[in-house]
Chain A
Amino acid sequence: MIAMAALQGFDSLMSGDTVVAQNIAFGILAVVMIVAALRMVTTGNVVHAALYLVIVLAGVAGIFILLGAEFVGVTQVLVYIGAIVVLFLFGIMLTRGALGEDEEADTEKRRMAVLVGVLVLVVTGGAVLDSFGDAAVNRAAPSLTAEIGDTIFSQYIVPFEAVSVLLLAALIGAIVVARKD
């Protein structure tokens, strides 16, 4: 199966200059992401794990841009690296004992973590394969941020305003949950 995937990759490698560059960039990003992901789950320091997660998420953003989805890529950097990882680091800073090297976290729950990881892989991978199969990605035209703006401000203007209400509800809910008294 791996050999087949390699052959298909080789086939599209031969079909044009941009595709070659895209494939080389994808290869570099994929290797960096795999190494960072492995280091993330093997490191004993929780803060380092969060910083390795930054590399993995930046790689995802790079792959989005390679596929022509610049808005999703920038959103990935802005929200996931800029906010979610900061939230993780905040959570680590607020927790006693989780800082620095922690051997306890490495042993007990490893079996459960492997089980959850395999389950997530099977479910998400299965869902992607089920809904897209071997459908080709549209390589002809990138989706630009301005086009997304055009769609939001014409077709989806009501959902756009509804999103602000949703975010408001999330904000007030977070405040209510996080408050002590």
Chain B
Amino acid sequence: MSEFLRSWLVLVVFGGLAVAVVGTFLGLGSLLRPQRATEQKVMNYESGVDPQGDRWSQSNIRYYVFALMFVLFDVEVVFIFPWAARLEAYGMFGLVEMAIFIFILALGLFYAWRKRLLRWI
């Protein structure tokens, strides 16, 4: 158990160092640079033209289907990880089983494509 936690501690230390390095440089930058904010400077950036309307705008409801499909395929990825961790051990058997798994889920993608939901309008 301690070996296991130590290997995860490496991740924590690495993440902490990454945050510390970026924080140090950004902090030093904000200490050194001159700060003379004008209304034009703090305005939201929108491809070089003056921004129109509020920060928030309502998206089209049709894009919700993309988010829903993303959740489903994310769950599929969760099942692929244990297979990938022992890829050599399962060999051909594992490959066929995973191919069936992915094929059945790909039918859903095919269904969405046939129902013309994948077009970006």
Q: Are A167 and B74 in contact (CB under 8 A)?
A: no
Contact with B along A84-122 (1 / 0, CB 8 A): 101100110111100110000000000000000000000
Chain A residues near B65 (CB-CB < 8 A): 174-175, 178-179
Residues 144-181 of A at the B interface (beta carbon under 8 Å): 144-146, 148-150, 152-153, 157, 160-161, 163-165, 167-168, 170-172, 174-175, 178-180
Among the stretches A3-11, A74-82, A127-135, the one at the interface with B is A74-82
Q: CB distance B108 to A168 under 8 Å?
A: yes
Cβ contact within 8 Å between B117 and A171: no
Say yes or no for B68: interface residue by CB 8 A criterion: yes
B21 touches A (CB below 8 Å): no
Chain B nearest CB from A165 CB (Å) reads 6
**A140 contacts chain B at the CB level, 8 A cutoff:** yes
* B111 in complex: contacting residue of A71, A74, A145, A172, CB < 8 Å: A172
Give the residue of A83, A93, A141 whose beta carbon is less than 8 angstroms from that of B59.
A93
The reply to whether A74 and B68 form a contact with Cβ atoms under 8 Å apart is no
A66 to chain B, nearest CB (A): 7
Interface assignment of B45: CB less than 8 Å from any CB of chain A: no
Query: Which residue of the partner chain B has the closest CB to A73?
Result: B8
CA distance A143 to B69 in the complex (A): 30
Residues of B within 8 A of A144 (CB): 4, 85
B58 located at the interface, meaning its Cβ lies under 8 Å from any Cβ of chain A in the complex: yes
Q: Among the listed A78, A153, A179, which residue makes an inter-chain contact with B93, where contact means beta carbons less than 8 Å apart?
A: A153
Given A175-B111, A180-B62, decide whether A79 and B90 contact each other with a Cβ distance below 8 A. no
CB pair A84–B71 under 8 Å, yes or no, is yes
Q: How far is the CB of A63 from chain B (nearest CB, A)?
A: 12
Given A68-B4, A91-B64, A146-B85, are A171 and B108 neighbors across the interface (CB < 8 Å)?
yes
Report yes or no: A179 in contact with B117, Cβ–Cβ below 8 A: yes
Q: Chain A residues near B115: list those with CB within 8 A.
A: 175, 179
The residue from B61, B74, B75, B82 contacting A149, defined by CB atoms under 8 A apart: B82
- Interface: B14 (CB within 8 A): no
Partner of A74, one of B72, B81, B90: B81
B81 touches A145 (CB 8 A): yes
Measured CB to CB, the residues of B under 8 A from A are: 1-2, 4-5, 8, 54-56, 58-65, 67-72, 74-79, 81-83, 85-86, 89-90, 93-94, 97, 100-102, 104-105, 107-108, 111-112, 115, 117
- The list of the 10 closest CB pairs from A to B, nearest first, reads A149-B82, A171-B108, A99-B56, A142-B4, A164-B104, A83-B74, A90-B67, A18-B2, A83-B71, A146-B85
Question: What is the interface of chain A, defined by CB distance below 8 A to chain B?
Answer: 17-18, 21-22, 65-66, 68, 70-71, 74-75, 78-79, 82-84, 86-87, 90-91, 93-96, 99-100, 139-142, 144-146, 148-150, 152-153, 157, 160-161, 163-165, 167-168, 170-172, 174-175, 178-180
